[in-house]
Structure 1
Amino acid sequence: MTLTWEFFTCFLSTAMTTVYHCEATAPPPPPTGLNYWWLDPFTVNVSWQQPRGLQDGEVLYKYRPVNDETDKCVVSTIWRNFTDIFLTEDMGNRTYHVWTVGSKSGDSTRVGITVKTPYPRAEVKDLRCLINSTGMNCSWRPGNQPFTLSYRVCGNSLDEMKKCDQPYSSAASGRTGCYLKVDAVNDICVLLDTGAGRRTFKPAREILSPKLSVTEVGDKFNLSWPPPEFGEYSHWIYEVCYKKCNEPKVCLQFTTNGEPGQMAYDKRCLYKFQSRARTSHYFKEIFSGFGDVVPYGTDEPPDGTLTVVAIVIPVILSACIILSCYCFRRHRSIICPTIPDPSAIFKEMMLNGNKEFKTTPGNLYTPVPEPVEPCKITLSPRKTPDTDV
């Protein structure tokens, strides 16, 4: 009886401990009733209901975009809603994950919600926004279409949307655009409405490419640029791409503080330069596209001396060898006459003794007989002196 009671007491204590432990480590319930609405064309608000059985302040909530799995994009909040900037330039739709985090019980399962834009995306091409000291010039293709452009500073939904009051359209370039009176140091959010669709974007800070100046100093080039019109930045990084003498394109980078950059110069080649600029990584990003092509120098005609030497000299040597062989074969009997064998002469002398040695034709050299003119002597009659009778 005692053993049965002790076993029952131990079993009940173990079961109660297990139940208490499971209740203490059970994850909290996930958020429910996720919903969203647009505060303005750039800002969306996502909200959810409080999980059942929990009170405000007992848990935290976390959320992040599904397409970004980095921990840097995980945001914690005690509120049951959040706002985010949502631009059609980034993506068509965006999905968020939201979950509950308990102080001791871990994380709940994640609940997803997909935010969709309430309007179709406007189809425009080659969208560019150039900044200068007075504002921003945004333009795009195709041009000659009706549009409405509005803008404000990003991240501040309380700012009133401003409308473009300086639109333009260029038939020559086929571009349509608008001049914006803004401080380009701030991030600007722009809404472009073409009637057929809308497009929201945050313009990049692009400037006109500074004009490249090329000067020759000895056997080097000095490359210089005027200070960009926008920004009080002292350090700029210039990328220079050039081609010379039909060689592949080469790109170099120069970090300058007002002084020119230098590179080697081959005077036999025509150079074609293009350059662009950007701020260093320590400053807010400002960049330019490649500027116009800047030519310098001329292509000298290639030196033909080596070519002539490589072609003419072998031809001359070949002709000389052929002529030498021809002359040798034609006059072989003179150049290389037949010489009798000395051993044959000695052997013949031993066999015949004192007999007259007769050479056979072909063994000895027989000189060609020289022509002899006959000498004729004519006697004149002798005169005798006259005698007196």
Structure 2
Amino acid sequence: MTSTRELYAFLTFTAMMMVYHCKADFPPPPTGLTFKWLDPLAVNVSWQNPSGLQDGAVIYKIQLKGFEQTVKCLSKKYLINSSLIGSDHWTYQVWTVVGNCLSTNESKKVDITINSPKTQVKLKDTKCIIYTEGMNCSWKSTNKPFNLSYRTCEHLKPLRVCDRPYSSAERSGCYLKDNDVCILVETEAGWSTFKPRFVIHPPKLIIKEENDYLTLKWKHQSIGKCKWNFRVCYTRCNKSEICIQSEGPSKIPYDKDCLYEFRSRTETKSYCSNVTSDFSDVVKYGSNKPPDQTLMVVAIVVPIILSVCIILSCYCFRKHSSILCPIIPDPSAIFKEIMINGNKDHKTTGNLYTPVPEPIESCKVTAVAQNSDLEQIS
């Protein structure tokens, strides 16, 4: 019974809300949208009251198209963006809301497109290298000469001109002392506005061999009290690259027969400003030693020797097969022949061998008188 009452109450409330929204009129959108550039980095977007409404009757929402997560709720009828950079046009959307910023009773959105006052020139690899005494902001560009102006991004202050510009074959830039800056670079082809990424010099990698491991340590530039993460990527014996990340010294297995190639970088942790370094130059450790050829030699030479020996053995066996393997008569055939021919007289054919008679000499015995012999002896 209770569940039936709750269901009835829910359906009644839903029906009432639907009727309320059907009867309610959505507020009209703002009118008279316009913009004005305050300097090359800042623009003021403004609008008028919606038709038939007075000041204070509604509030306004505004967002930069493509950045829907940055919706701003305002009671005033203008918005100043002090760091409109990095493009040649932007589109803002403005609409009115009845009630508070969370209300869904709102008007349709009205667009206004803002074009850059001058032609935008794309600069490559813009960055600011931070030092203890300042920073070096530079970029890659073929558009020379140039003029550089800057100011802080969050506050609408007058632009300041760079007093320490430089230009080289690869990069152009300026030495600055402020940290959070938006930069304007003017050339003959046009201008470019950007907020550079902040970097520090790559850390110095220290490698120490300990038994079967390599201990990796870093020396780097400190900025405030920020903690750092270190990232090192290495290859061994020209194999695929391996990357590891740590907050302090690291150990990796060491193969003494391999050449190791290291490159490293550092970056601040999430609770500090986003500052990173580029990867360092490659640091080499160890050398690629030639592999042991003993097993290879054994694997090649031994089969060859065995093959030659087998071939020679086969040749000798075939040549002297009559000696090594004489033909042995079948014992059953011998036994059978004995049984068949054993009781028969063997007939001889041909002449038998007759020995040649030997000559016999006659023996003549002569009697000798005993006295004559004795006389001769005496």
TM-score range, shorter chain: 0.7 to 0.9
Distance 1:193 1:79 in 2: 34
Q: What value does the CA root-mean-square deviation take over the aligned residues?
A: 2.3
Letter in 2 for 1:220: Y
Question: CA contact under 8 A between 1:99 and 1:107: conserved in structure 2?
Answer: yes
Counterparts of 1:91-130 in structure 2 under 5 Å?
91-103=87-99, 106-130=105-129
Distance 1:121 1:271 in 2: 45
Q: Which has the larger radius of gyration?
A: 2
What SS is found at the alignment partner of 1:345?
helix
Letter in 2 for 1:81: Y
Question: CA contact under 8 A between 2:82 and 2:155: conserved in structure 1?
Answer: no
Distance 2:345 2:259 in 1: 91
Asked if residue 197 in structure 1 is aligned to residue 194 in structure 2, the reply is no
Distance 2:253 2:104 in 1: 68
Q: 2:272 aligns with which of 283, 286, 291?
A: 283
Counterparts of 1:342-381 in structure 2 under 5 Å?
342-355=331-344
- Unpaired stretches in structure 1, ≥5 consecutive residues: 1-19, 359-386
Give the corresponding residue for 1:274.
263
- Aligned pair count reads 329
Give the corresponding residue for 2:303.
314
Give the corresponding residue for 1:17.
none
Distance 2:231 2:346 in 1: 102
| 1:188, distance to aligned residue in structure 2 (A) | 1.1
The verdict on how the C-alpha distance between 1:101 and 1:307 changes in structure 2, with shifts beyond 3 A counting, is same
Give the corresponding residue for 2:149.
150
Asked if residue 83 in structure 1 is aligned to residue 80 in structure 2, the reply is yes
Distance 1:357 1:275 in 2: 109
What SS is found at the alignment partner of 1:349?
helix
| 1:169, distance to aligned residue in structure 2 (A) | 2.1
| 1:246, distance to aligned residue in structure 2 (A) | 1.6
Give the corresponding residue for 1:174.
170
Q: 2:236 aligns with which of 233, 240, 244?
A: 244
Give the corresponding residue for 1:134.
133
What SS is found at the alignment partner of 1:268?
coil
The verdict on how the C-alpha distance between 1:105 and 1:262 changes in structure 2, with shifts beyond 3 A counting, is closer
Give the corresponding residue for 2:214.
221
| 1:204, distance to aligned residue in structure 2 (A) | 1.4
Give the corresponding residue for 2:359.
none
Give the corresponding residue for 1:380.
none
What SS is found at the alignment partner of 2:219?
coil
Counterparts of 1:178-189 in structure 2 under 5 Å?
178-182=174-178, 184=179, 187-189=180-182
Distance 1:272 1:105 in 2: 59
What SS is found at the alignment partner of 1:327?
helix
| 1:44, distance to aligned residue in structure 2 (A) | 1.1
Q: Which whole-Å deviations, capped at 9, do the CAs of 1:127-156 have from their partners, x for residues lacking one? A: 222111111111223368221111111111
Asked if residue 33 in structure 1 is aligned to residue 32 in structure 2, the reply is yes
Distance 1:120 1:29 in 2: 36
What SS is found at the alignment partner of 1:312?
helix
Letter in 2 for 1:98: V
Q: 2:202 aligns with which of 199, 204, 209?
A: 209
- Unpaired stretches in structure 2, ≥5 consecutive residues: 1-18, 348-372
Give the corresponding residue for 1:381.
none
The verdict on how the C-alpha distance between 1:74 and 1:105 changes in structure 2, with shifts beyond 3 A counting, is closer
Distance 1:246 1:301 in 2: 13
The verdict on how the C-alpha distance between 1:357 and 1:148 changes in structure 2, with shifts beyond 3 A counting, is farther
Distance 2:33 2:83 in 1: 17
Distance 1:22 1:263 in 2: 66
Distance 1:122 1:98 in 2: 29
Give the corresponding residue for 1:14.
none
Give the corresponding residue for 2:355.
none
| 1:23, distance to aligned residue in structure 2 (A) | 9.0
Give the corresponding residue for 1:371.
none
Distance 2:74 2:117 in 1: 27
Give the corresponding residue for 1:384.
none
Q: Which whole-Å deviations, capped at 9, do the CAs of 1:216-268 have from their partners, x for residues lacking one? A: 111111111113143332x2111111122121122111222xxx221111110
Q: Which whole-Å deviations, capped at 9, do the CAs of 1:34-93 have from their partners, x for residues lacking one? A: 101112221111111111211111111111122133xx322111111112244432x331
Give the corresponding residue for 1:16.
none
Q: 2:163 aligns with which of 162, 165, 168?
A: 165
What SS is found at the alignment partner of 2:202?
coil
Percent identity between matched residues is 49
